[in-house]
């Protein structure tokens, strides 16, 4: 059985969708993989409790504890790699993970590191995507699953989902509509990548 490691920072709803897909008995939707561990850079991430509820090992690598290091980002990423590699994962999945990763980290997992970003890339890389899409007058928004490369939100696109932007949308209402689609395309893309 292949291992997946999921990195989170917050709610963990995408993480939960992936854990569920790994568990379902229906062979058509099953991932044929095991979520070996969930790792958060924030001790307060709600997703940690959710992982525990599903019986998945969860850990914290708190990025703030590396702040005094001469190169805090490399030090954090090195610590993260040490934890992740214990599980020899076929795939490392960013699910609402909010720390930019160094080129060293990205190279270490080349071809097996993926992210879901809440916009139709290449539009709106970076943060506050829903507010920016509304402000730009976009009629459609969505989410993108992509391979992670050293340049932020610029790796090869693996899948996208499109939703309409409504006239009275707030960033929150648009985010919720996009999120329901994320929960569908992320597990499906992972299944495909793992050869199912
Ligand atoms: N790392 C690399 N190298 N490449 C990508 O494409 C990455 C990545 C790390 C995370 C997720 C991404 C998103 O989907 C992601 C893609 C965090 C930031 C950010 O600015 C931007 C994009 C994404 C994740 N983070 C701040 C930082 O200084 C911290 C923000 C915070 O803690 O709230 O790392 O949107
Ligand atoms: C998702 O919409 C995800 O695309 C986005 O944050 C949300 C996390 O929700 N990711 C980013 O913005 C990455 N910078 P979740 O924790 O419930 O999966």
pLDDT tens sequence across 10-22: 999 999 999 999 9
Pocket of ligand 1 contains residue 101 by CB under 6 Å: yes
Query: Minimum-distance ligand to the CA of 80?
Result: 1
DSSP annotation of 97: -
Transcribe 33-69 into DSSP letters.
Answer: EEEEEEEESSTT-HHHHHHHHTT--EEE--GGGGTTS
Across the range 65-86, mean pLDDT stands at: 96
* Dihedrals phi, psi of 114, to nearest 5 degrees: -130, 160
Across the range 169-193, mean pLDDT stands at: 97
How many domains in the chain? 1
Burial class (CB in 10 A: 0-12, 13-18, 19+), 74: middle
What CATH number is given to the structural domain containing 105? 3.40.50.170
Burial class (CB in 10 A: 0-12, 13-18, 19+), 145: buried
pLDDT at 29: 66
pLDDT tops 80 at residue 25: no
Pocket of ligand 2 contains residue 98 by CB under 6 Å: yes
Cα 47 to Cα 97: distance, rounded to the nearest angstrom: 11
pLDDT tops 80 at residue 149: yes
Cα 63 to Cα 61: distance, rounded to the nearest angstrom: 6
**Is position 117 annotated as part of the catalytic site?**
yes
Cα 188 to Cα 39: distance, rounded to the nearest angstrom: 21
> For residue 11, which atom of ligand 2 is closest to its CA?
16
Pocket of ligand 2 contains residue 31 by CB under 6 Å: no
What residues make up the domain containing 25?
A: 2-195
pLDDT tops 80 at residue 196: no
Contact 103, 74 (CB under 8 A): no
Across the range 136-151, mean pLDDT stands at: 97
> For residue 9, which atom of ligand 1 is closest to its CA?
32
pLDDT at 28: 63
Query: Minimum-distance ligand to the CA of 101?
Result: 1
Cα 15 to Cα 10: distance, rounded to the nearest angstrom: 10
pLDDT for 48-71, tens place per residue? 999 999 999 999 999 999 999 899
Pocket of ligand 1 contains residue 100 by CB under 6 Å: yes
DSSP annotation of 99: S
pLDDT at 32: 85
């Amino acid at each position: 059985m292949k291992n997946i490691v999921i990195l989170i920072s917050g709610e963990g709803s995408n993480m939960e969708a992936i854990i569920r897909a790994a568990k379902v008995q229906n062979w058509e939707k099953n991932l044929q993989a095991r979520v070996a561990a969930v790792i958060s850079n924030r001790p307060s991430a709600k997703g940690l409790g959710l992982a525990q509820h599903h019986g998945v090992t969860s850990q914290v690598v708190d990025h703030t504890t590396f702040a005094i290091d001469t190169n805090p980002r490399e030090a954090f990423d090195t610590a993260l790699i040490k934890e992740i590699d214990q599980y020899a994962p076929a795939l490392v999945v960013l699910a609402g993970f909010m720390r930019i990763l160094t080129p060293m980290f990205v190279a270490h997992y080349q071809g097996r590191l993926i992210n879901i970003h809440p916009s139709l890339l290449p539009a709106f890389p970076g943060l506050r995507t829903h507010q920016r899409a509304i402000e730009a007058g976009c009629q459609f928004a969505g989410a993108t699953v992509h391979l992670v490369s050293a340049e932020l939100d610029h790796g090869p696109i693996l899948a996208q989902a499109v939703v309409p932007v409504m006239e009275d949308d707030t960033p929150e209402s648009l985010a919720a509509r996009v999120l329901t689609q994320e929960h569908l395309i992320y597990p499906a893309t992972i299944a495909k990548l793992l050869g199912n």
